[in-house]
Structure 1
Amino acid sequence: MSAAPTRKYLGETVEVKAAHRIDEARLVQFLSDTVADFEGPLSLRQFEGGQSNPTYLLTTPRRKYVLRRKPPGVLLKSAHAVDREFRVMRALWETGFPVPEPLVLCQDDSVLGTAFYVMRHVEGRVFLDNAMPDLGREDRAAVFDSVNATLARLHSVDHVALGLEDFGRGGNYFSRQIGRWSQQYEASRTEDLAAMDRLIAWLPGAVPQDDETRLIHGDYSFHNVLIHPTEPRVVAVLDWELSTTGHPLGDLMYHTMEWYRPPHCDARGTLLGADLAALGVPDLDAYVTLYCERTGRAPVENLGFHKAYNLFRVAAIIQGIVARALGGNAAASVDAAEQSARVRVLADAAWGYAQEAGAVA
């Protein structure tokens, strides 16, 4: 698999897609009324990429902004909650946590057709290849350190003090997630995979005993972390659509999947089998230990459970894509056979990690 290029904020921009066009005159009027330093004229482009909420780059002679909105059409009630994104980003911005400054939320559909919010644009780099081939060894090591420190900082935030006590459900995080993705997998099953069946049976009884609730990002990956244009440090964490309250190790071990994900399962590649010392990248144990030191928590026990759980979760998500593709409800570019192969590889790897954690067939 070829290395993915380094790209700018949320990918390259393109002309606004026909399905996502908005009334620019209405937008200019709204921003003139609500954003203190806004002055037109306005140039509008759309960010390319897989984000589920259409995202636009707004350029004026003096400033750049980013607009995220719900997509048009009939939506699931809890999906595409831009108001939740705005709420958590506003709370974190006020603590000095690195997020783009959220400026205004509009829930009046008469303005642009769907709810949206506007934030300031932040210049930076997104690395889509986890090995970051564009960087030298020292800069690469510094980026990994900064990303680790930023996640530790997020999990040290007192979300109750920020007014986010009701931002998600508390307690039993892993049990609830395992139940949810087991049901999703069963609902989208298209073939029998022994590894998935074994994981569904084993995971509930292997859940760690500690029950901790913190603010979590939900998709903390290198593609959602913006690095300074020239310096090896985090300047903003992006895409808070999946943010909630839950167990912080859910965030950490999802993020560290880069170290244990099997090859050929993701366009971003994997660090599994890479010469980490040559890259300047810490191994998984060292990276997790550093996070624990920064958050003041005890060392993470039973990494095998967390590896198995995260790969199982991803396999269940991809199985849903397979089912939609076979049912004619997915994008034409989705190859069901190719996605099914990914499910099998992920499931087998997950079961292997489960066996390392004590699971018996």
Structure 2
Amino acid sequence: MTAVGLNEEAVSAWIAELGVGATTPLTFERIGNGQSNLTYSVTDAGGGRWVLRRPPLGTLLASAHDVVREHRILSSLQGTKVPVPKILGITEDPEITDAPLVLMSYIDGVVIDGVPVAQKLTEDERRAVGLAMPKTLASIHGVDLEETGLDDLASRKPFAERQLKRWSAQWEKSKTRDVPDVDRLAEILHRNIPEQNEVTLVHGDFHLNNVITDPVEGRIVAVVDWELCTLGEPLADLGALLAYWPEAGDKVAGPFMASTLEGFPNRDELVAAYVEATGRDVSAVGYWHVLALWKLSIIAEGVLRRILDDPRNKAEHGGPTVALIDGIVARAVLTADQLGLS
């Protein structure tokens, strides 16, 4: 079965010429639950494995899903304390592909991308992996921007304002219907912007689906999916981790339910572990939690739009539904209310 979005013959020839030890014929398989850049497992006749990334299919919003930029970020992080795959090649040759392709090393480990995977772990393993998340986030926020050459990756203007402007525009371009609470949340977030004094590397989409883990050792062996990486407020990443971390008592449904199982730390414990690792003042993290939920609803709406426009973008488990997106918006409204944001 041919992998959608790839000219397998041309891509195989390109990989074979990279000197990574690949022996043709190569086999390509779409993997992961990612709904943005498409990810494929590549295997060769000798059992070698690699990972290939490309943008989604169809018409894309400007600056979205830039795998060339992602290639730059991952290349710059080689040799730092941030665990990332090794970058092996990139091509934009139109005789090979209709969109940029990035080849990287395969990292052996467990991606806890759903309840069934998490259920195979012991409670101690779940807790260890959970607490490794904020510690890994601390390593991302500790990257020396000048030393890695990432100091010009993005604007250094106030991050909240940049995020609100960008994602409000994305909402207008990709929404499939009107959702008044999305606009109301944007107004609330504008009115309550906290003081921002620090600029660090920000992953932009840090959650369990985007890390490869070693549950036995309780560590993160690779952080992946860097397409939303930027420079900005480190607490934005922590807020996003909380947004993707439902607890058993929350009224939620959807693909990010693994953290509701026994053993995983709760959101307060994640924050405490981050403070222990960084010493940062996290008093404004609630604001960033709400902003992340608002942003998540817009990202999900964009995925829904891409699937409606081109069903080939649909991941194995399907994709976000209107009900799921409305549920995320409702969580954002509830969280804002609980924090007294108005």
Percentage of identical aligned residues: 31
- Name the structure, 1 or 2, with higher relative contact order (CA <8 Å, separation 6+): 2
- How far, CA to CA, are the matches of 2:113 and 2:55 in structure 1? 25
2:256 alignment partner in structure 1? 268
Q: In the alignment, is residue 33 of structure 1 matched against residue 13 of structure 2?
A: no
Query: Quick one: which of 64, 68, 84 aligns to 2:49?
Result: 64
2:104 alignment partner in structure 1? 119
- Is the 2:290–2:335 Cα contact (8 Å) retained in structure 1? yes
Q: Mean alpha-carbon deviation: is it higher for 112-121 or for 342-351?
A: 342-351
- How far, CA to CA, are the matches of 2:135 and 2:91 in structure 1? 33
C-alpha displacement at 1:90, in angstroms?
A: 1.3
- How far, CA to CA, are the matches of 1:147 and 1:284 in structure 2? 11
2:214 alignment partner in structure 1? 228
C-alpha displacement at 1:99, in angstroms?
A: 1.0
Structure 1 residues 104 and 191: alpha-carbon distance in aligned structure 2, compared to 1, 3 A threshold: closer
C-alpha displacement at 1:302, in angstroms?
A: 3.7
C-alpha displacement at 1:344, in angstroms?
A: 3.5
The amino acid of 1:102's aligned partner reads I
Q: Count the aligned residue pairs.
A: 331
Query: Quick one: which of 297, 305, 316 aligns to 1:315?
Result: 297
- What secondary structure is seen at the aligned counterpart in 2 of 1:125? coil
- What secondary structure is seen at the aligned counterpart in 1 of 2:237? helix
Q: Which residues of structure 2 form unaligned runs of 5+?
A: none
C-alpha displacement at 1:77, in angstroms?
A: 4.2
Structure 1 residues 320 and 64: alpha-carbon distance in aligned structure 2, compared to 1, 3 A threshold: closer
- Is the 2:128–2:218 Cα contact (8 Å) retained in structure 1? yes
1:138 alignment partner in structure 2? 124
Provide TM-score, normalisation by structure 1. Answer: 0.80
- Show the 5 A alignment for 1:178-257: 178-186=164-172, 188=175, 190-191=177-178, 193=180, 195-228=181-214, 230-257=216-243
1:100 alignment partner in structure 2? 85
- Is the 1:260–1:307 Cα contact (8 Å) retained in structure 2? no
- How far, CA to CA, are the matches of 2:62 and 2:225 in structure 1? 19
- How far, CA to CA, are the matches of 1:79 and 1:259 in structure 2? 25
- Is the 1:20–1:72 Cα contact (8 Å) retained in structure 2? yes
- Is the 1:171–1:213 Cα contact (8 Å) retained in structure 2? no
1:294 alignment partner in structure 2? 277
Deviations 1:27-50, CA, capped at 9 Å, x for gaps = 444334332x42412321222343
User: What value does the CA root-mean-square deviation take over the aligned residues?
Assistant: 3.0
- How far, CA to CA, are the matches of 1:141 and 1:51 in structure 2? 27
C-alpha displacement at 1:228, in angstroms?
A: 2.6
- How far, CA to CA, are the matches of 1:161 and 1:228 in structure 2? 29
C-alpha displacement at 1:51, in angstroms?
A: 4.1
C-alpha displacement at 1:251, in angstroms?
A: 1.2
C-alpha displacement at 1:281, in angstroms?
A: 2.9
Structure 1 residues 264 and 67: alpha-carbon distance in aligned structure 2, compared to 1, 3 A threshold: same
Structure 1 residues 282 and 229: alpha-carbon distance in aligned structure 2, compared to 1, 3 A threshold: closer
1:50 alignment partner in structure 2? 34
